[in-house]
Amino acid sequence: MSLKTNREQLVMTAVQGGVAAAHQWAPFEVGSQGEIIAWPSTGGITYNVKVGDSVFGWAGEHIEPGVSATLEHKNRKCEAGFQFLSCCGNEVRVISGEAKGAKGRVLGHHGGVEHLMLQFDDATLDKLTCDDKFLVRGYGQGLRLIDHPGVHIFNIDPDLFDKWGLKETADGKIEVPVNVIVPGHAMGSGIGALSVTTGDYDILCQDEETVKEHGLDRLRFGDFVAVIDHDNRYGRTYRKGALTIGMVIHSDSPLGGHGPGMMTLMSATGGELVPVLSDDANMGVVLGIGRFSEVQGA
């Protein structure tokens, strides 16, 4: 059975930003095991980390794949419009420099630093500079399911939503393909925040037993994931029986209370959403980008 949406009523808005400067948070940071690190982190143009790659194993923390973008470098806390209107899967176009005219896709937004992650093929990345500008066709906020008013949807392009592979069952449930199902107690930084339409929150992966039991080591950039007993309808909170679906948008981190970042896509509290495990539950598979592109290195 097909899912009916209100996509014809959605507003498409152009928003523009530039490359976010690469950031060093401190000369050294202390991990949750007491380790001292001096690693790359957020911002810049990241050439070798892509949708489909594991979020683990990098000599870096909170790494943002592809291009990190902001509206303004100096006032990143005032970027609600740029972050809010740019949805996962939206088309983005380079509007300056040698790569002018090249197109890519929005991965998602990273709260705190207020960065938007953009995905381009290698040929485009090689032409970009840190002075370049990007135009996003912001489209998706306000998306809803006509026959399922209890399901709240955020931050996703309706074309990506339609291609995702959601299925309505005979009993009125919605089966949602995800690569990993995360237990609610494994969520950290970002809980309690209202920024479900502009930020993310982190999956804690410091406990080896939890990682092994729930297969958290399978997490990749661009994965669709489910979080049990989490309600993201009006902010992020624990609620027994709730379910939240999200997209993995930044890498693991050794810092206490931090880990791979997940941006909210769907949330419901009445049992409407049923997560179904699938290795293909990744934005890159659905759109043919990143490590799943037919073009080598895209």
137-166 residue pLDDT tens: 999 999 999 999 999 999 999 999 999 999
Mean pLDDT of the chain: 94
Q: Residue 76: its pLDDT value, please?
A: 54
Confidence band, pLDDT 50/70/90 cuts, at residue 206: very high
Q: Which of 297, 28, 2 is nearest to 165 (CA)?
A: 2
User: How many Å apart are CA 74 and CA 39, to the nearest integer?
Assistant: 23
**Does 296 have pLDDT greater than 80?**
no
Q: Where are the domains of the chain?
A: 10-140, 152-282
Q: Which residues pair with 119 in a beta bridge?
A: 105
**Does 294 have pLDDT greater than 80?**
no
The superfamily (CATH) of domain 152-282 is tm1086 (SG structure) domain (2.102.30.10)
User: Does 3.40.50.300 match the CATH number of domain 10-140?
Assistant: no
261-283 residue pLDDT tens: 999 999 999 999 999 999 999 99
Q: For residue 57, what are the contacts with CB-CB under 8 A and spacing of at least 6? A: none
Q: Residue 23: its pLDDT value, please?
A: 86
More confident residue, 81 or 129: 129
Q: Residue 71: its pLDDT value, please?
A: 87
How far from each other are the two terminal CA atoms of the chain, in whole angstroms?
34
Confidence band, pLDDT 50/70/90 cuts, at residue 1: low
Give the residue carrying structure tokens 């810092």.
255
Confidence band, pLDDT 50/70/90 cuts, at residue 74: low
Under 8 Å between Cβ of 1 and 21: no
250-261 residue pLDDT tens: 999 999 999 999
The SS3 of residue 282 is strand
The DSSP code for 182 is E
